Amino acid sequence: MERNNLWNANLYDGRHNFVSQFGQSLVELLAPKPGERILDLGCGTGDLAHQIYENGVDVVGVDSSVNMVEQAKNKYPDINFIVEDATSLEYDSEFDAVFSNATLHWVKPPIKALLGIYDSLKPGGRFVAEFGGKGNVQTISNGILFEIEAAGFEFKKAHFPWFYPSIAEYSTLMEEVGFRVTFAQHFDRPTTLDGDDGLRNWIQMFGNQLFTGVPEESRAQIITNVENHLKEILHKDGRWVADYKRIRVIGIKE
């Protein structure tokens, strides 16, 4: 997983806590039942794993970021949190469900994660996930790429950290590993970013990899140029609104 291990877990819980707030309705879609054993893949700082746990579930939370897992363990010491990458899961038919919120757009190759997810599930088990879908944050990423190149630096495709599939593309991958896809949805989720520096903070927290090869001293000015360029489009009623597009899927292991 290309997800940055240096993510600041406090910032994630503070300014970017919309990630787990939006995830609450995904927990409803998961419909956890007492006595179930559920894997939370990409658990971040553990808030949704905790919600699932509160339903009487035996939860295991995994995340590739050491910082996130440390913070999750401090917040919820009764839950089992483990540092683990989504492409190297080694569970064997032991979970009733695999749940994943706002993670799988960081995971490449996606088929490797799907194979591990499928193997982790008991027969009849469910995979319930939400993540960035086709066109996610496209206005922001196009704006960054444009300004990086306008400043005279090269942007290489390999530095694009995310995988944003359509539901057709992702359902096909799910079927390839053996899932019966029972639900797939692609929807807009305009997401308000906190404060005047909301876009800058978002770019610094999540978009760092796009700046690979750009000298540190040039980055702040490039981000200022992105803000100026995108203000007309993404700044509404005094607030920055990111152009999130999500997909939600449910697959059953048959």
Contact window for ligand BEZ (CB under 6 A) among 58-66, 132-140, 149-157, 209-217: 132-140
Closer Cβ to ligand BEZ, 37 or 134, answer by number: 134
For residues 151 and 247, give the distance between their C-alpha atoms in angstroms, rounded to a whole number.
34
Bridge partners (DSSP) listed for residue 154: none
Closer Cβ to ligand BEZ, 50 or 105, answer by number: 105
- Residue 132 binds to ligand BEZ (criterion: CB under 6 A): yes
Of 15, 20, 92, 106, nearest to 64 by C-alpha is 106
Minimum distance from CB of 155 to ligand BEZ (Å)?
Answer: 17
x/- letters, 47..86, toward ligand BEZ (CB under 6 A): ----------------------------------------
- Residue 39 binds to ligand BEZ (criterion: CB under 6 A): no
Using CA of residue 29, residue 118, residue 78, residue 71, what is the dihedral sign? Answer: negative
Q: Applying CB under 6 A, which of residues 105, 126, 186, 248 lies at the interface with ligand BEZ?
A: 105
CA atoms within a 13 Å half-sphere pointing along the CA-CB vector of 90? 4
Query: Which residues 155-174 are close enough to bind ligand BEZ by CB under 6 A?
Result: 162
Closer Cβ to ligand BEZ, 45 or 118, answer by number: 45
Which residues does 242 contact at the CB level (< 8 Å), separation at least 6?
Answer: 137, 140, 190, 191, 192, 193, 199, 202, 234
For residues 95 and 40, give the distance between their C-alpha atoms in angstroms, rounded to a whole number.
10
Contact window for ligand BEZ (CB under 6 A) among 1-9, 72-80, 85-93, 129-137: 129-137
- Residue 210 binds to ligand BEZ (criterion: CB under 6 A): no
- Residue 211 binds to ligand BEZ (criterion: CB under 6 A): no
Contact window for ligand BEZ (CB under 6 A) among 73-81, 83-91, 130-138, 222-230: 130-138
- Residue 125 binds to ligand BEZ (criterion: CB under 6 A): no
Query: Which residues 187-206 are close enough to bind ligand BEZ by CB under 6 A?
Result: 206
- Residue 102 binds to ligand BEZ (criterion: CB under 6 A): yes
Minimum distance from CB of 44 to ligand BEZ (Å)?
Answer: 11
- Residue 136 binds to ligand BEZ (criterion: CB under 6 A): yes
Structure tokens at 142: 């196009």
Q: Applying CB under 6 A, which of residues 1, 43, 128, 137 lies at the interface with ligand BEZ?
A: 137
Residues lying near ligand BEZ in the complex (CB under 6 A) are found at 102, 105, 132, 136-137, 162, 206, 244
